[in-house]
């Protein structure tokens, strides 16, 4: 995926940075983003680094594609990929990865909440020898509800999957070519950030304050966040099954002890065995627990089915190269 570009830049004595930018309803921010990327290209040139821009229109319903083609008109070397519909940010990024030719790749959003200046800081760390650089959010100027759900998401992620994952989370990161190539074998439902942690490369962590969104509104809805949480946990950890297995074992022990208590009480005091409300409550609890466990098992089975059917994770409609 990256070998050709690496060879070309090595011959020229320069290095190349590929930036993959998924675009979804970002028409308002794209003109300002283009100016910021022009500045980045100038700064990279001073560091003997060429810039490759790859935009992926993930089925936007606004005029994002028109703005992307304007960017390409002003900078013909830019690559624009149009998908047939909205497949999701992970799938859009992986579609862009097919056309990367740089020595390293950066993934960044198009809404300008990932400052371009932070990309330059990551490049400096890469040029200093780091192969894996991530920009963790120190603060985020998001609505209160978004901050609460984000904090809950990362708390669950740290508990179930990666204990040392940055508490504020991150999306903006730089991968050396050897690391980026590993994404080719990853299923689309696997969280790419968690996968990169799992590879074992020690990241260089830079921190930044995420600015307030200035253009449009976020399309990262609660439903998408919830589905991504399920994909993150169930796609990379067996701990949910083990947690519920432990709960089942603990409840079974308590039930046996409670049953023994009832038998002993009846044998000593005589009379019938009271406790129908308790029995009904326990039956309802166990039924809910079983259904929840079956649902979790079904989620795992679905991911196996999705993996073996070999359906395309995204479909490209047009390429503008």
pLDDT in tens, 246-303: 877 787 777 777 777 777 877 777 665 556 666 767 777 777 778 787 888 887 787 7
- The neighbour count for residue 187, using CB atoms within 10 Å, is 14
The CA dihedral of 285, 287, 290, 291, to the nearest 10 degrees, is -110
In a domain, 314, yes or no: no
Least confident residue range of 115-124, 161-170, 309-318: 161-170
Number of domains in the chain: 2
Q: How confident is the model at residue 219 (pLDDT cuts 50, 70, 90)?
A: low
In a domain, 316, yes or no: no
Do 10 and 84 belong together in one domain? Answer: yes
Q: Residue 7's pLDDT is what?
A: 44
Q: How confident is the model at residue 118 (pLDDT cuts 50, 70, 90)?
A: very high
Do 149 and 273 belong together in one domain? Answer: no
Share of residues in the chain with pLDDT > 90 (%): 37
Q: Residue 151's pLDDT is what?
A: 80
Do 200 and 277 belong together in one domain? Answer: no
In a domain, 294, yes or no: yes
In a domain, 63, yes or no: yes
Which of 177, 210, 237 delimits the end of a domain?
Answer: 237
Paired residues of 168 in beta bridges: none
- The neighbour count for residue 297, using CB atoms within 10 Å, is 13
- Tell me the C-alpha to C-alpha distance, in Å, between residue 309 and each of 187, 303, 306, 312: 12, 10, 6, 9
CATH number of the domain at 99, please: 3.90.550.10
pTM of the model: 0.75
Do 154 and 81 belong together in one domain? Answer: yes
Which of 192, 218, 237 delimits the end of a domain?
Answer: 237
Let me know: does 231 contact 191? Beta carbons within 8 Å.
yes
Question: For residue range 173-195, what is the model confidence (pLDDT) as tens digits?
Answer: 999 988 888 887 777 667 888 88
Which of 237, 260, 293 delimits the end of a domain?
Answer: 237
Question: How far, in Å, CA of 19 to CA of 54, rounded?
Answer: 6
What range does the domain containing 179 cover?
A: 3-237
């Amino acid at each position: 995926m990256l070998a050709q570009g690496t060879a070309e830049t090595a011959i020229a004595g320069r290095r190349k940075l590929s930036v993959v930018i998924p675009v979804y309803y970002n028409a308002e921010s794209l003109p300002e983003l283009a100016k910021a990327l022009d500045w980045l290209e100038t700064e990279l040139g001073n560091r003997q680094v060429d810039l490759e821009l790859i935009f992926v229109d993930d089925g936007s319903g606004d005029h994002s594609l028109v703005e992307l083609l304007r960017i390409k008109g002003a900078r013909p070397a830019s690559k624009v990929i149009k998908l047939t519909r909205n497949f999701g940010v992970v799938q859009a990024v992986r579609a862009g990865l097919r056309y990367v030719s740089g020595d390293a790749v950066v993934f960044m959003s198009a809404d300008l909440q990932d400052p371009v200046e932070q990309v330059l800081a990551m490049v400096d760390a890469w040029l200093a020898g780091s192969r894996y650089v991530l920009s963790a959010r120190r603060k985020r100027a998001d609505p209160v509800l978004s901050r609460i759900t984000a904090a809950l998401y990362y708390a669950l992620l740290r508990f179930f999957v990666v204990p040392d994952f940055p508490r504020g989370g991150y999306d903006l990161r730089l991968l050396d070519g050897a690391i980026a190539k590993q994404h080719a074998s990853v299923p689309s439902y696997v969280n790419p950030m968690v996968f990169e942690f799992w590879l074992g490369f020690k990241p260089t962590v830079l921190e930044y304050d995420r600015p307030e969104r200035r253009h449009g509104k976020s399309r990262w809805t609660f439903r998408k966040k919830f589905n991504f949480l399920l994909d993150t946990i169930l796609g990379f950890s067996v701990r949910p099954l083990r947690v519920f297995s432990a709960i089942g074992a603990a409840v079974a022990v308590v039930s046996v002890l409670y049953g023994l208590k009832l038998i002993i009480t009846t044998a000593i005091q005589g009379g019938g065995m009271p406790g129908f409300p308790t029995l009904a409550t326990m039956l309802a609890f166990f039924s809910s627990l079983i259904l929840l466990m079956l649902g979790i098992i079904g989620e795992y089975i679905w991911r196996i089915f999705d993996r073996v059917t070999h359906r395309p994770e995204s479909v490209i409609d047009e390429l503008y190269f």
